[in-house]
Amino acid sequence: METRDSPGSVLAIHLAHAPRLAPGMAQRLLQSPGRRRLDILGVPRDPRGIVLACGSVAAAALGVAVLVAAGDPIGVGYLAIAIVTYLFAQTRFVPASLWLLISAFGVWSAVSGAPVGWVEAAVAALLAGIATLQVPPEVPADGGKVAIPNGSASNGSEPIANGYPSPALADSLEALGESSLAEVPVAAQTRLQALGQFRFEVAGRDIAPQLEDKAVLAFFFKYLLARYALGDPMARRTAAGDELSPGMDRSNKQERLRKQIYDLQHDVAPELISILRSNRNHVWLDLSEVDSDIRRIRELCERAKKEPELVSSQLAAEMEAVLDQTDGQGFLVGFEDLEHHVNQGRGVAGQIVSDARLAIAGQRADLIRALAEYHDGVGRPGASIPYLQSGLDGKPDREDLARRLVTAYLKTGQNSRANEVRRQYALDKE
């Protein structure tokens, strides 16, 4: 027998629709108490589902009447059909088949001498026809929340406790490959600026102040952002729990992590539901649809590597634009203070941010080198000098940039500056 907290017992909430669990399932369970009760009861909201649900209720009432008034065991059959058609109202084959069965029974009753059977046959045939209609997609309700097919409650297990999803429910959803919460489309104009002043624009409004007002959530988000910048976005839940709650026992760490994920997705902006992803083992940021400065730098580096020789003039212009926007801008400025406030620096988040800064500086240096090669190739070596100086400020160990800077100075007649760079970076005489 399954335990109460096993995935099987929790997923009995939606057992009737296990083959087609909707991405918005958890969101539906996490709505207001009144709506949540309707969802747990599986009350449909689309016209087709409402009509079929009413038919199921009528069949249940008929079954009770037959059992109580006549003591006929056929009433048990009506009750069973009522339950199954209600649970499977958002499918087509099962309810259509069962209503056709009832219609055929009605015809048999009428032929056997019970004229009321014709009414039963007609109503059941009508419901069978409605059941064959196309099942509607998830219906937005309450300002865009995503609705799901109706389901049934399971043996008294409580999916929500104190406003948060229970561990069993969250783990069960994640085991099926779902994000722990609903899918909400990312706004087309979602923009993230991580270099310099931190900004997070969603639909034209900057939610960064709202995020940073909640120190723990801001720390959690920026920790995941640093991992994304490093190219290793998927943090193990145990590692994320260690960062948020060092010194706590494992179960409390995971419970607190689950609540932070929920709060970050719901207390800041609904778009974060699609940006912050999680499964049973990992949590990560999905910035594939977000316009971010660190993503642009990374993609420009990848495009530059694919160029056979010099980058194109269009790509060079894009490089200049990004380099100008990010010149002298540090990644997640002030993170160390935030880290100390949240966990007193007892995790490795600070080191991850430091490594991300070096990685971004290296990517900018790669862009600057490609841009300097382009400028040199088209006869404008002087145009690359400011970029080369900026690159060396961020990555003073990049000897290739220093040598490019020496060459640019020499080609523009600035021999004394070239010698200064040679001495500063201990370059051999050329």
Task: Give the model confidence (pLDDT) of 281-335 as tens digits.
Answer: 899 999 888 899 999 999 999 999 888 788 888 999 999 999 998 888 889 988 9
* Closest C-alpha among 212, 206, 243 to residue 227: 243
pLDDT at 356: 93
Query: Are residues 183 and 274 in contact, defined by beta-carbon separation less than 8 angstroms?
Result: yes
Residues 172 and 180: their CA atoms lie apart, in Å, by 9
- % of residues, the chain, pLDDT over 70: 75
Q: The pTM is what?
A: 0.58
pLDDT at 294: 92
Most distant CA pair in the chain, distance: 114
pLDDT at 48: 77
pLDDT at 30: 41
Q: Is 119 a residue whose pLDDT tops 50?
A: yes
pLDDT band at 41 (very low <50, low <70, confident <90, very high): low
DSSP state of 92: S
Task: Give the model confidence (pLDDT) of 383-393 as tens digits.
Answer: 999 999 989 98
User: Could you tell me how many residues make up the chain?
Assistant: 430
Strand partners, 200: 192
| Average per-residue pLDDT for the chain | 76
| 25 CB-side CA count, 13 A | 28
Task: Give the model confidence (pLDDT) of 49-99 as tens digits.
Answer: 788 888 888 878 877 877 777 777 777 877 888 788 777 776 777 788 887
Could you tell me which residue, 339 or 12, shows the higher pLDDT? 339
Residues 206 and 220: their CA atoms lie apart, in Å, by 18
Residues 341 and 212: their CA atoms lie apart, in Å, by 12
What number is the average pLDDT over the span 155-184? 44
Give the CA angle between residues 22, 161, 141 to the nearest 5°.
40
pLDDT at 81: 83
Task: Give the model confidence (pLDDT) of 120-151 as tens digits.
Answer: 778 878 888 887 776 554 433 333 333 333 33
